[in-house]
Every structure is written in structure tokens, then in C-alpha cells.
Amino acid sequence: MNYGEFGGQYVPQELKGKLNTIEKEFKKAKKDKEFIKMYEYYLKQYVGRPSPLYYAENLTKYVGGAKIYLKREDLNHTGAHKINNSLGQALLAKRMGKTHIIAETGAGQHGVATATVCSLLKMKCTIFMGEEDIKRQYVNVEKMKLLGADVKSVTRGKGTLKEAVDEAFEYLLKHQDAFYLIGSAVGPSPYPEMVKFFQMIIGKEARKQIIKQEGTLPKAIIACVGGGSNSIGLFSGFLKDDVEIYGVEGAGLGIYTGKHASAIANNTIGILHGMKTYIMMDENKQVKDAYSISAGLDYPGIGPEHAYLKKIGRVKYDSVTDKEAVEAFKLLTKLEGIIPALESSHAISYAMKIAKKYNNEDSIIVNLSGRGDKDLKTILTM
């Protein structure tokens, strides 16, 4: 797919052949009716799709302005949107004759989803996770182990998502039999295209559901952005419509402090994990450490399609601080009885700000990308 100057395959030559083979098989698979039928079967019968589009009436009344709808990806099996992509890529790997899946994870949701589908499909599973994220997401680590995955602690650097991706790519170079199941819409081609394809179900469902429930399209849609898989999944259903689109990164302690995870705010283009995109770099052109209270947003780059959408002005990217996200986490829990992931709480917080721009006949959609039981330890120790 063409992302203008962004994307590409900035990887060692020995990896290019493997990536091109994956791309070739992916193009065949997405046109194969039997493959799509199998994927859709598992989405319905195993994942539990379609996920509801829920009118958050109490939150709407509290905020004022547009009706706030939540796309309930937290109700999927394993508790997040991640399984849509993990399932699709694992089925592709099995189709290719692969028996060993490797993956990276930050918040642990992609790791759990990958371990889950590997258990289902009887495939060996190795998960790379930064030691800092292992501390933050202990429950998800134990889930992965119970599901049969080998969880590798990554101790170098800051010990978060970036380092986990680095380690996974290095492992892939040494183990050509493995299939790297990337969890976000990042990395060298064809990964951003594949992840989008397997997450497009979010946008397709949401568009159909809002028209059925409201009789018209929403005024705006909002999703959090780390690498960008849940957001590109939702955005894909509305890019051609007259709908405002907002991507929300982690502002951490505040953009001005430098302790944040907003690649867009940094406004610097470079190479990261095999792709050209906006990344956080210092004055020496070295990748800076990202920071966010949310492990899933703690990434110093952004997917190439997001970079392209920012450059052409189709999507507005902004950020929300840790403090604002925690407040939204607690508020949604209290008002609606729904405990959101800290990642999703960034989008909830931003939706509360923009809802007031519209009147009470309008609607907006927030992608509730995951549930927050994994984040309770973080919340309770604050």
C-alpha cells in the first residue's frame, strides 16, 4: 500500500526474502474465500464478534453535547482488539506451514491474544516482553504462561515495548523457521497492511451499527494510538466519509516535560523497526525513550499509515496526559460500570473534551480497545 514517503522495508537483506514471501502469501490468502470463511468463523464463534456499539448514556449526560458511543472491543475473547489480528496472522502462518510463532507485547494484550490462538491452533509460541512491562502487567504474563507460551524478559534499554520489538526481530534473523506475528500496525511492509486488514472488522462493524442505531454517520470517531492497530481498524471504516477523525497518543507527564509517548508531537521523521515514520529522536538523531502510564502506548514511533494520514491532514492527532487518562478510567468505571484499559482511557478522555463541540442530536464513537483489569495494580498503587 502507498503511504507516500512513509513505510517501506528498511531491514537486513536476509529478512527481505522472508517478508516478500509473507506478502505474497498474504495477498493470496485475502482473496481466498475459504481462508476468509475460516477467519470469519473464528471471529464469530471464538472471538465473539460482532462487538456491541454501546450508547454510554450516563457518560453522555455527565459530559453534555454529542451522544458518546463505545465500540466494545473489551468484550472480545482475551479482552481487547488484539485477537482480531493475532487470529488472522496465525491462520496465515499455519497456511504457510509454520509451526513456531514469535511476538512482542507491551501491555500484554497482544501477548495473551497470540498465546491464545497458538494454543487453539497447536503452534509453539514465544513472547518477548520488556522487564518493566512484565512488572506492570504481571497478570497477563501469568496468563501467557498458562496458555503455554514461553515469555522472554527483555532487560536491555528501558525494558519496554521498543526493546521487545528489537529482540523479536533479532530472534527472527537467527531463526528463519519462525513467523513473527507483529501486534500493531508498524514494522516493515507487509506488516502494517496485514494488521490493518485483520483489524478492519472494527470499522466495518461500527459504521454499520451507528447507521442502524442513529440513522446517520457520527460526527467524529476517536481512538488511542500507540503503534496504531485499534485506531487504524476503526478509522478504516470512515476514511472516505465526512467524519472527523482523532488519534490520541500518550502525553505522559506532559509534552513539555519530554516524558511522553507522542511521536507526532516530536514531528521528526526517521527509521524505526524497518519502517520510515514519525519517531521520537533526540538532537543526535537517536531514538528517545517513550514514556506513558499505559504500557500499550509506550512506543517511540507510530505506524506509517498514521504518519501519512497526519501528513495529508485527514486525521487530527493529539495527546492526553497520564493524569487525564486515569481520571477518565475512574469516571467511566463509576458512571457506566465499564472498566477500560488505560490505553482506551486516553481516547475516553479526549472524547469527553470534543463531545461538547457538538449538539445533543449528534453522535461520536470511541474505540474502547480493551478492558482494564490488567491495569488495576497501576491504578491502585497511585
Element (H, E) at 235: helix 229-235
Q: What pLDDT was estimated at residue 303?
A: 98
Q: Any catalytic annotation for residue 219?
A: no
Write the CA distances from 182 to 145, 224, 367, integer angstroms.
19, 18, 21
Pick the CATH number of 50-79+200-380 from 2.160.10.10, 3.30.420.40, 3.40.50.1100, 3.40.1710.10: 3.40.50.1100
d(CA 206, CA 234): 7
Which residues in the chain land under pLDDT 50? none
Among 73, 104, 193, 249, the active-site one is 104
Q: What pLDDT was estimated at residue 299?
A: 93
3 state DSSP class of 278: strand
Cα dihedral value 232, 81, 281, 259, nearest 10: 120
Find residue 366's DSSP bridge partners.
70, 222
Q: Any catalytic annotation for residue 369?
A: yes
Within 64-123, strands assigned E span 67-72, 100-105
Alpha carbon 228 to its chain centroid, in Å, reads: 5
d(CA 303, CA 338): 29
Write the CA distances from 43 to 84, 102, 162, 271, integer angstroms.
7, 21, 29, 34
Among 51, 71, 73, 82, the active-site one is 82
**Closest-CA residue to 350 (of 260, 251, 253):** 251
The alpha-carbon radius of gyration of the chain (Å, integer) is 19
Q: What is the DSSP letter of 330?
A: H
81-121 tens-digit pLDDT: 999 999 999 999 999 999 999 999 988 999 999 999 999 99
Q: Any catalytic annotation for residue 82?
A: yes
Burial of residue 37 (CB within 10 Å: 0-12, 13-18, 19+) is exposed
217-269 tens-digit pLDDT: 999 999 999 999 999 999 999 999 999 999 999 999 999 999 999 999 989 99
Pick the CATH number of 13-44+82-191 from 3.40.50.300, 3.30.750.200, 3.40.50.1820, 3.40.50.1100: 3.40.50.1100
Q: What pLDDT was estimated at residue 146?
A: 98
d(CA 49, CA 78): 12
Domain with CATH 3.40.50.1100 in the chain: 13-44+82-191, 50-79+200-380
d(CA 231, CA 238): 11
Per DSSP, helices labelled H in 303-370 are: 304-312, 322-336, 342-354
Burial of residue 107 (CB within 10 Å: 0-12, 13-18, 19+) is buried
Burial of residue 377 (CB within 10 Å: 0-12, 13-18, 19+) is middle
Among 86, 294, 345, 369, the active-site one is 369
